[in-house]
Amino acid sequence: LRAGYGRSVETNLVAPIVPPGSIDPGGIGKGLAADLIVEKLRSDGCGGVLVNIGGDISVSGTPPSAEGWVVAIEYPEDPERIVTNIVIDEGGLCTSSTRSRRWTRGNEEPHHLIDPRTGEPSRSDVAAATVVAHNACEAEAWAKAALLLGSHEAMKHPILGGSPMILVTNAGEVLSTFDLAPTLDLDLNVEVNV
């Protein structure tokens, strides 16, 4: 069991917090918050709601157009470029990326996504993972898992491989579990494997 960065704890407690350790709900918390806000707004009578908390998106109800809730997926190296637009009717869509929340440690520039197998920032080949699920909390968990697993394992994972998912690798390759052709930004020089 790990508590805090680089600290290993042996204990029978379910969730020990060792000083200077702390609990950071991170993306799961953002996804859950988006879901709870959508639920509250819908119960208060809103006909359609889209809540975006730092890339964790929850949608419900009637969208503003007949096309549905359209969400642009950004290219991790250049947020001005769009990999694709995804249309969802209800649920959550979340993206996890190694390109944000970085710092300098010696000659390295680690990121915030810690691989629980190593206790270190993930070294997978995935720069960004986007997953669509029943809700944003679930989508966030699966997006993190896909990124940490790496592209090969995520694409063949029995649950992830069947979920609507887009991976952008560190090499710029776009992988998807569904057909991106109708919505892919053709200005991108990336290979699409479906």
* Residue 167, pLDDT score: 92
How far is residue 189's CA from residue 173's CA, in Å, rounded to a whole number? 9
Mean pLDDT by 10 residues, the chain (194 residues): 40 52 66 95 96 92 90 84 88 84 64 66 86 92 89 82 83 81 40 40
* Residue 114, pLDDT score: 67
Closest CA to 61 of 41, 76, 33: 41
- Domains in the chain, please, with CATH? 26-193 (3.10.520.10)
User: ∠ CA 88-64-95 to the nearest 5 degrees?
Assistant: 35
- Cut 0.95: pTM above it: no
* Residue 28, pLDDT score: 76
How far is residue 185's CA from residue 88's CA, in Å, rounded to a whole number? 18
Q: What Rg, from alpha-carbon coordinates, does the chain have?
A: 18
How far is residue 169's CA from residue 150's CA, in Å, rounded to a whole number? 9
Contact 97, 140 (CB under 8 A): no
Coil, helix or strand at residue 128: strand
